[in-house]
Chains A and B, each alone.
Chain A
Amino acid sequence: MTSDGSGDIWVVTEQRDGRTKAPSIALIGKARKLAGERQSRLTAVCLSQVVEDAAQLAAYGADRVYLLDGPVPDDWNDDAYVKELVDLARREKPDVILATSGSLSSSVIPRMAVALDTGVSPNCISLDFDHQSRMLVQTRPAFGGSLMANVVFPNRRPQIATVRPHAFKKGDPDPSRQGEMIRVDFDRQAVSAKTKLLNVVKDLSGKVRLDEAEVVVCGGRGLGKAENFQMVAELAEVLGAALGTSRPPVDDGWVPYAHQVGQTGKIVSPRLYIACGVAGAPQHLAGMQTSEIIVAINEDPRAPIFEVATYGMVGDLFKIVPLLTKKLREARG
């Protein structure tokens, strides 16, 4: 553990089908900037050795890429991931470990933290080094985004933070940047099998994952009935967006729970969020108000969603949404 604040920065990346997910790449870009500010080394950690785009991770800023002997991507083996990350971190003593919020942060990252006797500051939207204290200042929303908190680690290391997808913009790769590729072989047998994956059921109800999407189109109770979701699904389709919803359509069985945005659903922070027929209850705002651009379509000019909207459109969504879909489709050609 380096106390001069120049220790290594790690980014634990997530892959799917052998390719690194966009939020992980954006986080590497951000970590590169932090590493540059205090001349520390940046390591991208991959939980698998089957990473087609490992060289890309170097191009986006990693000095080293660790390829852990993990199970095949898409597979699930949290116990193994925790053990391997903990072993590696004990050996190398990074100063900072970053990951995106998502599946890793609901299990692997907090468990790893406890094993390393340190904490986690979750769902951060900004990260800065305080040069005086040499600590990483992590900014995270609290109380549904109505308040921000700066979190620091006064005396424990590593400093571990997870960040919301899209909190940082993807940087530009520098193809001339070379990184060291390091394979780390772990003894698979050593991991005790207290949990076992028996089967995987793929979700077919949406092509784009809600919590990774750069654009989210959300339909609320204003849509009136299940069939009308087709309309927002079409808008989502032209935009390459994920489909979100407020709680009532889930409660009424129109849309599966996996699509619910809000306090008791998913927290998203895309570049563009289009809310159609959503009132903007505090519990819904809690899940989306840190989105970069918010478009609200609602017939009620007093709907609270307009208070957080970047662009507000007062009117009938049954007119506006199809028009918007058409216009965007034409633009695409």
Chain B
Amino acid sequence: MQTEIEKTRARQRARHHDFLRAILIIAAFAIPIIAALTFYALLNGSLDSIQAFGFGFLTGTAWVPNPPNGGPPILGALPAIYGSVVTTLISLLFAVPISLGIALFQSELAPRRLRLPSIFLVELLAAIPSVVYGLWGILFLVPFMSTYIDPGLIGSLGFIPIFAGETNGLGMFTAGVILAIMIIPYGAAVMREVIAAVPRSQREACIALGGTTVETVRIAVIPYASTGIIAAVVLAMGRAIGETMAVTMVIGNVARISPSLFLPSETIPSVIANEFTEVAGNNIYLAALFELGLILFAIAFLMNLIGRVLISRLTFHGGTSVNV
């Protein structure tokens, strides 16, 4: 038998509960709303450009927003797409092995006392703002590359078109290097989480058979973590392709498709960053920049979705869950 007081208390509790639940649910809608707004704003803003250029936008190589003869703008995204793809590939070339090395160092090799400090230092590298990387890039890395690295590559490998030509340090190669530095901490952190989820018993079995450290890594750790490592690469790729400030500051910003990695070029985000406030009432031009944003969003969205789905699958294969 409940007394009146108990009933009132139960009602109050239920009300509190409903109130809390309502607040939490309302807040939780913010995230889907932001996602929907993002998609809507980009698609709606791009309509003029999609109508004007169709699929030709993706293959067009000219970027003439204000033709001298006063005709309609001729805008093709291929130079920016090309620059984004090439710089991202260069960055992965450096970042994937180094990230994997760091992750293995931190999870398999580092002495107990050094493990947390080494993770801390790499996290600090991740905390440096993009624009500071850009400042360091344009004032230190660009002169360094044009004095020491690029001439060496041109001298020794110049017969290959990608290393041919001259250099002033601004271009896809330097952009790729700075991108690599920027995604290494993220890639290393995701790979470390994935490797940490490999059960101890896997390693112990290999060690019990007389395996050395490298054999344990090769036979017991990497195969188990391979899906997660691929996911880490995909996620890092998504980061690299959307990185704006540092790349904009070192790539030179010229719409061109050239095999040489040393010529000034551009990427999708760098075009948006440079030109968005300069459209001055040119609606098709503005819409084309929105469409570049839409393409960028689609690529980054896809990369993230693939990476996340791969990682969420890992949890079902036994072992501890992966928090990424």
Q: Do A and B come from one complex?
A: no
Residues of B at the A interface (CB closer than 8 Å) are none
Residues of A at the B interface (CB closer than 8 Å) are none
